[in-house]
Chain A
Amino acid sequence: MADLKILAVDDSPTMRRIIINTLKRAGFNDVIEATDGKDALAKMKVEKPNFVITDWNMPEMDGLTFISTLRSQAEYKDLPVLMVTTRSVKEDIVDAMKAGVNNYIVKPFTPETLKAKIDQMLAG
């Protein structure tokens, strides 16, 4: 947990703040943030996070395009990606899986769900 650096991507400042607070309470203190997929790709190069939490609906570059772009690069092939979004239509979830999302939470979420999903993903 100590060496885990999480990138939280969401266009809503409120959501970024809630996610960061929830992560810190769960013991994940190293968290960086990005406002959309384009910003996230730029932060990936500099900050080198080893876990990504991303929203879907964002301006400039949406979450799905961001994940597809990540997965097209060899260095991010196995990077754990958790999608946290309002999209709960089954077809959307299947599209997210195809794009390379490792797990998926529908907003609004509880802190317990977020922590459980991260723990589950880290456990492999």
Chain B
Amino acid sequence: MSSADTLQEKIQKEIVELACSISDVVSSFKKLQRPLVETREQVPQATNQLDKITEQTEEITTRMLEVVEQITQREEEVIRGLRTIRQKATSDSSNVVDQLARELTTKAEDNLNDAYRIMEYLQFQDITAQQMDHAASLLENVEGKLHSILETIGAPRTAALRSAPPSVRKTRAYDPHADLVDKKTDQSDIDSLFAEKKE
């Protein structure tokens, strides 16, 4: 056997091994395609669910605000009415009526303060909406990357791959650190910053 024959055999063997490797890689890509396509299709569903939570929470918060506004209006009317009763109370009954009206006024004012406190707590909706937008934005990022991977490996053009990239579907404006409880800077420190600026 000549040295040329040996070299040819070696090259043939290498080519066969290379072909087998390529075949394995292609097979692995094919196996990967399906779960990747499925994930690519599921991510927008998760994003839509988050957007739906935000929309529905906002709608209910608006309804709650309407009810709280009606309560505050009625309580203000009650307080005005009690004031008039105290002014018009006859001398015979003035002590009893005045005392009763005072007590009822205090209760009505407490109700009014509590109603405004509820209104204050409803700010949660804006903060959780920003947290949802942040989560949705992270999911859109995952979706965009999956989209690019599938295009690169030549996945079949499914409905998901033909749909618009996530970046063009919705403009999101949010603070990634929005938090109901954890404020990165205390209000007193903020006030000091502005006081220093003024000086």
Residues of A within 8 A of B (CB): 10-15, 17-18, 21-22, 25, 56-60, 62, 85-90, 93-94, 97, 102-111, 113
Q: Which residues of A are found within 8 Å of B160, using beta-carbon distances? A: none
Q: Evaluate contact between B116 and A14: CB separation under 8 angstroms.
A: no
The answer to whether B125 touches A88, judged by C-beta atoms less than 8 angstroms apart, is no
For residue B187, which residue of chain A has the nearest CB?
A106
Instruction: Give complex CA distance A7, B179 in Å.
Output: 25
Which one of A14, A58, A90 contacts B173 once the chains associate, using CB atoms below 8 Å?
A58
Minimum Cβ distance to chain A for residue B170 (Å): 9
User: Does B58 contact A107, Cβ atoms closer than 8 Å?
Assistant: no
**Contact mask B113-147 → A, CB, 8 Å, 1/0?**
00010011111111101100000000000000000
Which residues of B lie under 8 Å from residue A18 when comparing CB positions?
65, 119-120, 122-123
Contact residue range for chain B? 35 or more
* Min CB gap B186→A, angstroms: 9
Give the shortest distance, in Å, between B87 (CB) and chain A (any CB): 23
Q: In the assembled complex, how far is the CB of residue B117 from the closest CB belonging to chain A, in whole angstroms?
A: 9
Q: How far is B69's CA from A115's CA once the two chains are assembled, in angstroms?
A: 19
In the complex, which residue of chain B has the Cβ closest to the Cβ of A60? B171
Interchain Cβ contacts under 8 Å between A and B, 30 examples: A10-B126, A12-B125, A12-B126, A12-B129, A14-B61, A14-B122, A14-B126, A15-B123, A17-B65, A18-B122, A22-B116, A22-B119, A56-B175, A57-B130, A58-B173, A59-B172, A86-B175, A86-B178, A87-B175, A88-B177, A88-B190, A89-B177, A89-B185, A90-B193, A104-B190, A105-B187, A106-B183, A106-B185, A106-B187, A107-B126
Q: Which residue of A lies closest to B130 (CB)?
A: A86
How many Å lie between the Cα of A104 and that of B194 in the bound state?
A: 8
- A86 engages B177 (CB within 8 Å): yes
Tell me if A57 and B173 are in contact (CB < 8 A).
yes
Assess the B124–A59 pair: CB atoms within 8 A: no
| Residue of B whose beta carbon sits closest to that of A58 | B173
Nearest-CB distance from A67 to chain B (Å)?
Answer: 14
Say whether, besides A17-B65, A57-B175, A59-B173, A111 and B120 are in contact (CB < 8 Å): yes
Listed from nearest, the 5 A-B pairs whose CB atoms lie closest are A86-B178, A108-B123, A88-B184, A88-B183, A12-B126
